[in-house]
Amino acid sequence: MSESTRIAEVRVTPILISDPPLLNVQGVHQPYTPRTIIEVVTDNGVSGIGETYGDTDYLKIAQAFGPKLVGQPLTARNDLFARVSAAAAEVDIAQIDNTVVAEGLRGARTEVKLVHSVVSGFEVALLDALGHETGLPVHALLGGKVRDRVEYSGYLFYRWAEHPVAGEPQDDWGAALDPAGVVEQARRFADRYGFKSFKLKGGAFAPEQEVAAIHALHEAFPDAPLRLDPNGAWSVQTSLEVAAALEGVAEYLEDPTAGTGQMAQVAAKTSLPLATNMCVTAIDEVPAAFTSDAVQVVLSDHHYWGGLRATQDLAAVCRTYGKQLSMHSNTHLGISLAAMTHVAATIPELYYACDTHRPWQTEDVITVPHTFTDGAVDVTDTPGLGVELDRESLAALHRRWLDSDVRDRDDAAAMRRVHPDWTAPAFPVW
Ligand code: GKR
Ligand code: MG
């Protein structure tokens, strides 16, 4: 390759992937959830792949931006935000009002975050292609790995055994609706993948029940670091009661309460660290959260932080302020897991296991899905991301998208299929 290597072709493919009925404060996961798969092809015929959120607005922007990348240099990534923003300005974005919606599962919903999520899909695809062009792994393009394995935590969910409608995707995990069910799920996670730490998605039941589940996990796995994440569902008072009940048991509480102000009130009165993927989700949210010491651990999501380089930038900011960094996830496939693993491998100060939803997925768009051993994924040294697109699978999952009318994640709508009167609760819920 040379400096003049350019992008000759871009493919943006929406897909629907099957998802189990996992519960959270907003409802339950739908049987299918959208993702966007991005492929770039250079004028040397070399391809790179990326993955990001696939809901309507993300997809519209990705589809608007894709053709504009054709003819651009492969190495030009630093102005992606400006270029994707310009494409976003041309499309009608339905769900953005630029207000801070503290109760969302991923914090504030802003156009910047939407654009960042699209940028990340393209950045990863460009880095993958650059890696194939140069023979270097993505971590080397990011400055080099500082570890050979990236540790992930077992991400436990309260869940139903199956979706309510016959013929919808099924798995063999069974229900988990009480502390015993959560412990059984953790045992399977530990046996299958060797996870050494666990995070429980909370906000699905009353805090006492979720505290009991963490205590049951602690009894079953006395050495395992444990986390509980109700996605901001509790009041300051409830958060403090939970913190008191879990001191010495949990390694941190994740978003116990909604918003930086309330998180700061909780943080001031507990020695338990607080982590977030809701109140620090973009750089302009950092000053308030860090100066008020509202959070001690920031959970980056390379998608909505704007990519892998942006994640490294966030790591530098956290380092400056003495904050810890780890990683958040949403339902995702192997291209994203590869990207998460490469960037995590380059960050020296990564002391907490990263999140991943990947074990919950039964499908993938890569030919050889990752293996978790002892709760970790090996960092590959093969060129690019080190994964290969499974074209047959991509075509099948795209066909599912074409044949379905599911276009956005909507956990509340999925809950209403079972409880017709259900509405996402007002915060604080407890
Ligand atoms: O998949 O239900 C879920 C999670 O609740 C997800 O949407 C969150 O964004 O995992 C995330 C979290 O840590 O808050
Ligand atoms: Mg969270």
Task: Please give the ipTM for the structure prediction.
Answer: 0.97
Q: If you count DSSP H runs as helices and E runs as strands, how many of each does the chain have, helices first? A: 13, 14
Cβ contacts of residue 252 below 8 Å, gap of 6+?
227, 272, 273, 274, 275, 296, 297, 352
Cβ of 159 less than 6 Å from ligand 1: no
Cβ of 229 less than 6 Å from ligand 1: yes
Instruction: Give residue 104 CA to ligand 1 midpoint distance, Å.
Output: 10
Distance CA 149, CA 100 (A): 36
Cβ of 356 less than 6 Å from ligand 1: no
Q: Which backbone phi and psi does 123 adopt, to 5 degrees?
A: -60, -45
pLDDT averaged over consecutive 10-residue blocks of the chain (430 residues)? 91 98 97 98 98 96 98 96 96 64 64 94 98 98 98 98 96 97 98 98 98 98 98 98 98 97 98 97 96 98 97 98 97 98 98 98 98 98 98 98 97 97 92
Query: How far does CA 57 lie from the centroid of its chain?
Result: 17
Q: Count Cβ atoms below 10 Å from residue 211 Cβ, excluding itself.
A: 20
Cβ of 258 less than 6 Å from ligand 1: no
* Polymer length of the chain: 430
In the structure encoding, which two tokens stand for residue 233, read together?
Answer: 């569902």
Cβ contacts of residue 22 below 8 Å, gap of 6+?
28, 29, 157, 158, 159, 201, 360
In the structure encoding, which two tokens stand for residue 279, read together?
Answer: 């109140």
Residues 60, 201, 218, 357: which is the catalytic one? 201
Q: Enumerate the domain spans of the chain.
A: 7-137+391-404, 139-378
Q: Which residues surround ligand 2, an ion (CB under 5 A)?
A: 229, 254, 277
Distance CA 354, CA 328 (A): 7
Instruction: Give residue 253 CA to ligand 2 midpoint distance, Å.
Output: 9
Cβ of 85 less than 6 Å from ligand 1: no
Domain spanning 7-137+391-404: CATH superfamily:
Enolase-like, N-terminal domain (3.30.390.10)
Angle, CA of 270, 246 and 179, to the nearest 5°: 150
Determine the pLDDT at residue 100.
45
For 223-280, give the DSSP string.
Answer: TS-EEEE-TTBS-HHHHHHHHHHHTTT-SEEES-BSSHHHHHHHHTT-SS-EEESSS-
C-alpha torsion 357→203→189→215, nearest 10: 150
> Is residue 113 annotated as a catalytic residue, yes or no?
no
Cβ of 231 less than 6 Å from ligand 1: yes
Q: Looking at the domain that runs over 139-378, which CATH code has it been given?
A: 3.20.20.120
* Residue pair 194/375 in contact by the 8 Å Cβ criterion: yes
pTM passes above 0.95: yes
261 residue type, one letter: G
In the structure encoding, which two tokens stand for residue 276, read together?
Answer: 């977030």
Which residue minimizes the CA distance to atom 13 of ligand 1? Answer: 328
> Is residue 419 annotated as a catalytic residue, yes or no?
no
From the CA of 23, give the closest atom in ligand 1. 2
Instruction: Give residue 304 CA to ligand 1 midpoint distance, Å.
Output: 13
